[in-house]
Each structure stands twice: as C-alpha cells, then as structure tokens.
C-alpha cells in the first residue's frame, strides 16, 4: 500500500495560473482514494534563486487547509534543486520508516526523476509513477514536446544530475562531530598510511547508519552516493585518493584477492605491493584486520567474522603476502581493529565448539546454550601458530600508550557500528591501509 505521495511540480512554470486548481483536484483524489489512513503527501516546488522562499506558489497554501485528513500529513517542499527536494523528503520518509512511494509528475519529468531516484534511494524503496493529470484547457503545461515514454535521458542529462547530487552532498555538514581515525603505533607511518574509522564525521543521518557509514547495501537505506561522499571525506582527512580505493567483497570466507591478478567474485582478504592504492576491509562487529610488511613494503586487509576466523582468513592473507611478495612471516605486522569483544559476543553451542577446539580460552561459559566467543583471541592464536610473532600482533590484549584500536563495537554505540546491536539497517566502519609514495 502506498505510504507516501510525492507531487512533483518542480518543472512547472512559476506563473502557472491553474496550478492551484490542479493541486486541489489531485489532493481531492488522493483524499478519496486513500482515506484510511491518509498517506503523507509531499509537494515539490522550485525555489527561485535569490527569491523569497514560497513566493511563487504562495497561492497554493490557503487551499491546502481544505483537506482536513491530509492537513497534518501534507508538506510543500521548496528547494533550489530536485536533489535538495528529494533528499529533504527522503529524510522525512526515513524518519517514518516509509518505503512505498507514489510519484505524480509531468510525463516529461519521468525519465529524469528515475535517474534521481536510482541515485538517491536503494532497493529498500518501491516507487510507482503516475502522470500528472493536466486539464486539457491548460495550455501552460505544454512545456515541450513529450518524449516517448521509455526513452532513456541523454547521457549529458544523467551526468548533470550526477554532478548536481555530488555537489549537494558535498555541501552538507558533518554529522555527530568530526571525522575520527584510529591508528596503531605498530604500523610505521613513514611507510604506510592506515587507520580504522569510527562512526562520526559523515553525512549518513539514519540513526543506525549515522554518520560515517562506509558500506551500501540494497537492504539498507543509505544509497551508494552517500557512502561515496563519506568515503571522500575520509580520504580527505586521511590523505588518500578515493579513486584508487579497493574494498574486499565480503563473503564470510577466506578467499584473497591479489591486486593486479584476476579478481575473484568475492573475497574477504586483499593484498597489494602497489604504492598509492588504498585497500580496505569493513566490519560492524566482524574484525577489520590490517597487515603490513615494512621490509618488503607490502600490505593487506581482511574481514574476519566468526566464519572467516574459523576458515583462517587472516593466515590466508599472510600466506598471500608471503607467496606473492616474498614477505618473511616474521616481518609481518598485524592489527585487529574495532570488533565485537568477548564481553558481548555469543554463538550457538555448535559453533562455539569449533572455537573451543582452537583453544578453550576462546570460549566462556562453554556449557551454556550460547557461550561467549573471543574471535580476536582465536585470530591471534591462528596467526601465532602460522608464524606471526606475538609482539607483531596488536589486539585488545595489547594496550598502547598512544591509542588503543581494538575496542568493542557493541559496547561503544557513540563510536562504532554494531550489527549485533543495531539490527538489519546497520552501518559499517572500515580498516584501510596503503603504501606511501
Ligand atoms: C589503552 O587501554 C589501557 C587499558 O584500558 C589504558 O590503560 C590506556 O590508557 C589506554 N590508552 C589510551 C591512549 O587511551
């Protein structure tokens, strides 16, 4: 069932006399058809540059009072660009957890509107489009010759829309404070640039994604353009090139992508010896693990959840550095980023058994139905048995006089995202590393 209706009057001429009647008819229809419960209705109007807000469509407003059931649910949004209008409305839809939306718009606007929608929304939202019914005596609405229905907008239109969106997002303020990057003093910063992100300093506004979400999924409400803007801000703050950035394609397994070779469809580890290329692994409880060999100047990143930990993704990444770049395992430094701690993380008994097999110390309350699991300790044990020196591993058993990095994601809602804590619409932080030029 349609939960919200957007009426797009953005492209209509400001001096349109009939607009008042047009809107009244439309609202009458909406009120009649969707009486219980009345949907939320948003009317998009263009705000002229330099003009007083509302000046053109001022005359609309008195009429809106006539629609009692819609009154509180009707909002006229004036904006300089379609992006600004849609982004404002998206925030209100998200606040109400609305995902089924009907857009009533001039036929001519449909193709362009679809481009905006594709960029600013995700597969969580369902849109239906309806032509704005224009009275036949209203000649003013014949803005141009209509294009055929399914025609794609020309590439230059798409590019204009993309740059309008980019500029708009770049202009938004940081939310929840400054962007903060955690760094380990184990990794020498004359050779490597690295860090772990926290959740502040981005533009994502949905509570569980706010604000520096660095992963977009069709199941969540942050579109790629927002994640890209967050990444741009991170890259600016950290000093890397966001265009030369590669993130693992999470599969909860142990495949490793060696940059420059064939890219697997999915992989949880990535290694490189190319300078200036930033590689990254996400985590929202799972451990982002960073690897650095200052001798051979190679680095790696891995995403290690409980499955990946059991499958040995960290040692798989180490082994790739050894076989591809001739690294000596004793030179490789490993840092475990923010991740769910043994204080909070539980698994069913069956899975706990496998951690118990690695070392009984990885499990607490083993006899209970869902024992507490220490995926970090399991990671350390597997790395040490693979030849990594204990002192070359930083995790929560190591305290650093400069900065601790292996915080518990579930315990610190102000600093980190946690899937376990936040549910389906969770945000993601990352660990990133590159070799300096
Ligand atoms: C790191 O954690 C330890 C133990 O909690 C603490 O003593 C130390 O002060 C922390 N370091 C910093 C820089 O906060």
pLDDT (tens digit, 9 = 90+) per residue, 342-398? 999 999 999 999 999 999 999 999 999 999 999 999 999 999 999 999 999 999 999
Give the containing element (helix H, strand E) for 307.
Answer: helix 306-310
CA distance 306 to 419: 13
Helix (H, G, I), strand (E, B) or coil at 155: helix
pLDDT at 132: 84
Query: Is residue 212 predicted with pLDDT exceeding 60?
Result: yes
The whole-angstrom separation of Cα 153 and Cα 161 is 11
Q: Minimal CA–CA distance to 191: which of 280, 277, 295, 272? A: 295
Q: Kindly state the average pLDDT of the residues 172-182.
A: 96
The residue count of the chain comes to: 437
Q: How far is the CA of 185 from the centre of ligand 1 (A)?
A: 13
For residues 117 and 122, give the distance between their C-alpha atoms in angstroms, rounded to a whole number. 8
Burial class (CB in 10 A: 0-12, 13-18, 19+), 152: exposed
Q: What is the β-pairing status of strands 298-304 and 287-293? A: antiparallel
Rounded CA separation 121/216 (Å): 11
Which domains does the chain show, CATH number per domain? Answer: 4-171 (3.40.50), 181-435 (3.60.140.10)
The average pLDDT across 319-333 equals 98
Q: Is the pLDDT of residue 38 over 90?
A: no
CB-count burial class (<10 Å; 0-12, 13-18, 19+) for 232: middle
* Residue 146 per-residue DSSP state: P
Report d(CA 183, CA 204) in Å as an integer: 23
Q: State the distance from the centre of ligand 1 to the C-alpha of 195, rounded, in angstroms.
A: 18
Give the DSSP letter of residue 249: B
Instruction: Please identify, by atom number, the ligand 1 atom nearest to the C-alpha of residue 404.
Output: 1
User: Who lines ligand 1 at CB under 6 A?
Assistant: 399-400, 402-404
Question: Residue of the nearest CA to atom 3 in ligand 1?
Answer: 399
What pLDDT is recorded for position 144?
Answer: 43
Question: pTM of this prediction?
Answer: 0.92
Give pLDDT tens digits for 46-78: 887 765 555 444 555 555 656 666 677 889 899
List phi, psi (to 5°) of 388: -70, 135
The CA 287 to ligand 1 mean position distance, Å, reads 20
3-state secondary structure of 385: helix
Give, for 105, the enclosing helix (H) or strand (E): strand 100-105
Mean pLDDT of the chain: 90
Substitution candidate for ligand 1 out of 185, 399, 412 with most atoms within 8 A of CB: 399
% of residues, the chain, pLDDT over 70: 88
User: Rounded to whole angstroms, how far apart are CA atoms 384 and 5?
Assistant: 58
Which candidate, 383, 426, 414, 104, places its Cα nearest to that of 285?
Answer: 426
Mean pLDDT of 91-118: 95
| Residue pointed to by tokens 């290690």 | 304
pLDDT at 60: 58
Could you tell me whether strands 181-182 and 192-197 are parallel, antiparallel, or unpaired per DSSP bridges?
A: antiparallel
């Amino acid at each position: 069932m349609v939960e919200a209706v957007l009426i797009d009057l953005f492209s209509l001429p400001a001096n349109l006399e009939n607009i008042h009647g047009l809107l009244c008819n439309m609202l009458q229809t909406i009120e009649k058809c969707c009486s219980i419960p009345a949907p939320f209705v948003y009317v998009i109007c263009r705000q002229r540059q330099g003009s007083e807000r509302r000046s053109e469509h001022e005359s609309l407003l008195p009429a809106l009072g006539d629609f009692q059931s819609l009154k509180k649910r009707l909002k006229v949004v004036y904006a300089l660009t379609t992006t600004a209008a849609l982004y404002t409305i998206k925030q209100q839809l998200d606040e109400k957890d609305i995902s089924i939306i009907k857009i009533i718009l001039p036929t001519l606007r449909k193709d362009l509107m679809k481009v905006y929608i594709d960029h600013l929304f995700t597969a969580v939202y369902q849109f239906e489009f309806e032509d704005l019914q224009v009275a036949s005596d209203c000649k003013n609405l014949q803005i141009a010759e209509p294009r055929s229905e399914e025609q794609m907008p020309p590439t230059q239109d798409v590019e204009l829309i993309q740059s309008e969106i980019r500029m708009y997002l770049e202009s938004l303020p940081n939310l929840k404070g400054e962007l903060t990057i955690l760094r380990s003093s184990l990794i020498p910063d004359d050779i490597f640039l690295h860090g772990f992100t926290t959740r502040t300093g981005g533009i994502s506004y949905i509570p569980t994604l706010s604000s520096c979400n660095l992963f977009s999924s069709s199941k969540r409400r942050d579109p790629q353009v927002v994640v890209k803007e967050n990444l741009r801000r991170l890259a600016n703050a950290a000093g890397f090139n966001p265009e030369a950035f590669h993130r693992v394609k999470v599969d909860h397994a142990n495949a490793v992508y060696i940059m420059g070779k064939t890219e697997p469809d999915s992989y949880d580890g990535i290694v490189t010896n190319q300078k200036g290329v930033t590689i990254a692994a996400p985590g929202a409880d799972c451990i982002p693990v960073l690897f650095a060999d200052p001798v051979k100047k190679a680095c790696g990143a891995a995403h290690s959840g409980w499955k990946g930990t059991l499958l040995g993704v960290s040692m798989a990444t180490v082994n790739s550095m050894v076989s591809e770049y001739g690294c000596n395992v004793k030179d490789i430094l490993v840092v475990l980023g923010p991740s769910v701690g043994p204080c909070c993380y539980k698994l069913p008994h069956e899975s706990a058994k496998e951690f118990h097999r690695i070392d009984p110390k990885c499990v607490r309350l083993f006899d209970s139905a869902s024992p507490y699991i220490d995926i970090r300790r399991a990671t350390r044990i597997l790395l040490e048995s693979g030849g990594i020196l204990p002192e070359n591993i930083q995790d929560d058993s190591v305290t650093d006089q400069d900065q601790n990095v292996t915080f518990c994601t579930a315990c610190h809602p102000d600093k980190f995202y946690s899937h376990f804590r936040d549910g389906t619409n969770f945000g993601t932080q990352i660990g990133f590393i590159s070799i300096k030029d």
